[in-house]
Amino acid sequence: MAKRSIEIILEGRNETRSPFSDARAEMKRWEAEVQRTSRNVRAASKAGDEGNAAGQAAAMAAAQERAATLRQTADHRKALADRLAAYKQHKAAEAATRSQALAAAAAAERAATAREAQAGRAALADRLAEFKRAKAMERTLAELHAQEMTASAVKTANATAGPAAAATAQTSRLMRTLIGGSGSAEAKINGVKYALQGLVGAVPGLDMVATSI
């Protein structure tokens, strides 16, 4: 809007028509009138010099007409000069007004541009803050998931470590007792197999060992 205001002001710069177009033509007409009366004076003076009474009267009338024309021309020239001075003052005031309007429009355009830039920066800051919040939430969820997985692993390890250790110790003692005791080798092997089958489930993979014996 401010830019359009500047364009309108600049477009109106040459709208005012000079009031002196007709005045110059009128001044040329007065100058031609002066030249005509001067010719009349010269012609009447020549006739008067020849001793013609009528010519002398005509010369006097022509001189009076020329004097009157000169006065009117001077008056007209003065009036034209006054109009020219007034026109110059008007154009100066118009130029000052136009300059003020241009300055105001330019200031309004700069203010509008500044507001747009500030709004853009604010929107960008909001998007950046939203992105940071999303990334922080993502890190928090990842940390919570990692903590949950760690706690589950610890719980599982604690749940299986105790029975497995006890079963391993019991199996070791039983095998030492069976192998070191009296009886045939087949009886000892069957005893170990039975002991292992009794502990299947307490120790992972023990069922395969018991089956292979």
Question: Could you read off the pLDDT of 167-206 as tens digits, one per residue?
Answer: 666 666 666 665 665 656 666 666 666 666 655 555 555 5
Domain C-terminal end among 64, 97, 125:
125
Answer yes or no: is 65 within a domain: yes
Report, as an integer, the average pLDDT of 71-82.
82
Considering the domain architecture, whether residues 42 and 108 belong to the same structural domain is answered as yes
| pLDDT at residue 6 in the model | 45
Residue 68 lies in a domain: yes
98, 125, 152 - which closes a domain: 125
Q: Look at residue 199 and tell me if it is in a domain.
A: yes
How many structural domains comprise the chain? 2
What is the band of 9 on the pLDDT scale with cuts at 50, 70, 90? very low
Q: Are 65 and 36 in contact (CB under 8 A)?
A: no
Within this chain, do residues 34 and 120 fall inside the same structural domain, yes or no? yes
- The pTM for the full model equals 0.37
- Is the model more confident about 55 or about 71? 71
Give the integer Cα–Cα distance in Å for 206 and 200. 6
Is 155 among the domain residues? no
Is residue 167 domain-shared with residue 118, that is, in the same domain?
no
Let me know whether 113 and 165 are in one domain: no
Are 99 and 39 part of one and the same domain?
A: yes
Residues 106 and 208 in one domain: no
Instruction: Please classify residue 23 by burial: count the beta carbons closer than 10 Å to its beta carbon, then call 0-12 exposed, 13-18 middle and 19+ buried.
Output: middle
One domain, residues 108 and 198: no
* Same domain (yes/no): 117, 173: no
Range of the domain at 179: 161-212
| 167 and 109 both lie in a single domain | no
Give the distance from CA 193 to its chain's centroid.
85
Which of 1, 5, 76 has its CA nearest to residue 34? Answer: 76
The phi and psi torsions of 15 (rounded to 5 degrees) equal -75, -30
| Residue 154 within a domain | no
Spacing of C-alpha 79 from chain mean position:
56
* Whether residue 193 sits in one domain with residue 92: no
Query: Among residues 99, 125, 151, which one ends one of the domains?
Result: 125
Strand spans (E) along 107-183: none
**113 and 19: one domain?**
yes
Task: Give 117-138 pLDDT, tens digit per residue.
Answer: 999 899 999 999 999 999 989 8
Is 191 part of a structural domain of the chain?
yes
| Residue 132 domain-assigned (yes or no) | no
Q: Is residue 178 part of a domain?
A: yes
The size of the chain, in residues, is 213
104 and 12, same domain (yes or no)? yes
